[in-house]
A and B are shown apart, each in its own frame.
Chain A
Amino acid sequence: MNFERIKRVKSSKAFTVPDAIVSVIMVIAVIACALFVYRLPSADVIISVRGEKDIRLSLDSETDIELKHLTVHIHGGQVWVTDADCADKTCENIGKISGTWQRIVCLPNGVVISVTGDDDSLQWEIGR
């Protein structure tokens, strides 16, 4: 053992400016990793047409989908319908939805639009 070196280390300052910078960088890195790993699973938008076709898109997808009888808009984490050709316009009047399991239904055209969570993290489903 080198006693000189031990003495030098013991007498030096415990926490220097470069140490602080390194610490701050490390804390930021850890938080960034944690956010990356534990980021909230994004919700999905499911558009079902006449109970036959299912379209699945991310709620973050920032897109507009022109269906035969109406247009679905997905922007800023919200979903809404315009240009519906149904008589009642119930689907348009529902307005913007964003929460999980909220739903827009256009009965005359058989369109159901729902917001859902990230199902991929489940191992199984029951109740079919």
Chain B
Amino acid sequence: MLCVCVCGCAAAGYTVFEPIAVFSDDILFSAKISGGRADYVYKRMKDAISEIDNEISLSKADSALSRFNNAAQNERIEVGEHAFNLFKLSCEYYELTDGAFNCAALPLSRLWRVDSASLACLNGESDAADLPSPERVNETTAYCDPNTVTAECVDGRYYLTKTNGNTELDFGGIAKGYAVDECVDILNEYDVSSALIDISGNAYFYGSYIDSGVSSDWGVGVLSPRPRNGPSLSRGYVVALSLGGDVSAVTSGDYMRYRTVETSDGKIYVPHIMRANGVPLGVEYDGNNWKNSDDWVISATVIGNSSALSDALSTAMCALGIDKGGELLKKVGYKGLIFTEKKYTIIGEVSLYRPDIYDGYRRYDYYEL
């Protein structure tokens, strides 16, 4: 009996924790953890994630971030350590990405009705009447700047203060990655040799993949950005990655959260990813109307050590475009892939897993940066 159990455990290798909703109903946390303390490690991770959520949730009216967003100009709001850390990281990434990653863009998302709350009640479709005027966009962009917020740490307590009453923060763009990094810290505390942590596509591969005692790279499929809707199965993989251990991989794209708007010239797509000019990815003004651009980034994958930075960079690469986004990734020293509607490029030494089978990238033209 003991033998059966021991053999069974050795063969199974990982304890698999099925997806559960964290942060919000559509953000799922899943894990695979090797070793005897998997259940305990998992529980610690779950607790860490809900601790972060309690501080930064925008659907909880009493969270520190909700209180900050509702605060008046110059009103000092005490926040927790996570909210403070997330703000500091977000400011760092705002500078790094030339404003492409912006934790203060919530009023813009709301203006375009691509924030989580609007997308949930719009159910995707609407007409051109509710698209903002370019003037409104410019007005709003002016105060969507994390530099209008001051952060202080006094005697071990953390405070955020707005210098513009309209400013609101949303850490949705790096919270998943930040939470994954916190989970990795927990894995480091225990004797875990191999694990996989995933919060809605923000994945971290801890150690090598172990199958029946043999270590190998992780084979990771990157879902195709097209067709935009439909079940993931019919989208297939645009490419698969072969990842050695201790690395995070994150994909952002225009297909994840967007709405369609019926204009006089036809249907346009408005993705939730906002650019530094206050206009969503793939959208431009032709002098009379908002329309979709000829080509834009539809999927950007970043591979790097920090999941928070990978999370921010994958969004920023969509906003920056294939050239600037690729250059930024090179500068940071992370690896990745960028796809536009027509072409793709690879940054750094990315090893593809079975490109003979996972060859969706062949539908795009290779573009040399």
Q: What's the Cα separation between A122 and B203 when bound, in Å?
A: 14
Nearest to B248 among chain A residues (CB) is A126
Digitize B213-232: 1 where CB-to-A-CB distance is under 8 Å, 0 elsewhere. 00000111111110101111
Taking a contact as CB atoms under 8 Å apart, the answer to whether B359 and A100 are in contact is: yes
* B249 CB-CB contact with A under 8 Å: yes
Q: B residues 330-369 with Cβ under 8 Å of A? A: 353-354, 357-360, 362-363
Given contact pairs A101-B360, A117-B354, A125 touches B220 in the complex (Cβ within 8 A): yes
Query: B354, A121: Cβ atoms under 8 Å?
Result: yes
Q: Is B69 an interface residue (CB 8 A)?
A: no
Pairwise interchain contact A100-B196, C-beta atoms closer than 8 A = no
Interface size of A by CB at 8 A reads: 25
Give the contacts of A34-92 with B (CB-CB under 8 A).
Answer: 41, 43, 46, 48, 51-52, 54, 56
A121→B211 CA distance, assembly (Å): 12
Query: Using Cβ atoms and an 8 Å threshold, which residues of chain B touch A124?
Result: 196, 198, 203, 205, 218-221
Given A101-B360, A127-B299, A128-B200, A122:B229 Cβ within 8 A: no
Question: How near does chain A come to B193, taking the closest CB pair, in angstroms?
Answer: 15
Q: Is the CB of A126 within 8 A of B203?
A: yes
B233 at the A/B interface (Cβ < 8 Å)? yes
Q: Taking the complex as formed, is A98 at the interface, i.e. its CB lies under 8 A from any CB of chain B?
A: no
Question: Which residues in B have their C-beta under 8 angstroms from that of A118?
Answer: 357
User: Which residue of B has the minimal Cβ distance to A50?
Assistant: B230
Cβ-based interface call for B109 (8 A):
no
Whether A125 touches B237, Cβ cut-off 8 Å, given contacts A51-B231, A112-B230, is yes
Which single residue of chain B is at the shortest CB-CB distance from A125?
B221
Size of interface on B: residues with Cβ below 8 Å to A: 41
- Decide if B80 is an interface residue (CB 8 Å cutoff): no
Please state if B223 and A127 are interface contacts (CB–CB under 8 Å): yes
Assess A122 versus B220: contact at CB under 8 Å? Given A101-B363, A127-B299: yes
Across the two chains, which residue of chain A brings its CB closest to B357?
Answer: A117
Report yes or no: B249 in contact with A48, Cβ–Cβ below 8 A.
Answer: no
Do B220 and A123 touch (CB < 8 A)?
Answer: yes
Q: Judging by beta carbons under 8 Å apart, are B219 and A121 in contact?
A: yes
Contact for A126 among B223, B227, B230, CB less than 8 A: B223
- A122 touching B236 by the CB < 8 A rule? no
Given A54-B233, A114-B234, A127-B251, A119:B363 Cβ within 8 A: no
Among all A-B residue pairs, the 4 with the closest Cβ atoms? A117-B357, A127-B251, A48-B234, A127-B223
| A interface residue numbers (CB < 8 A to B) | 41, 43, 46, 48, 51-52, 54, 56, 100-101, 105, 112, 114, 116-119, 121-128
List 13 extra interface pairs beyond A46-B234, A121-B219, A128-B200, CB under 8 A.
A41-B357, A51-B230, A54-B234, A100-B358, A101-B236, A105-B227, A117-B237, A122-B221, A123-B196, A124-B203, A124-B221, A125-B232, A125-B237
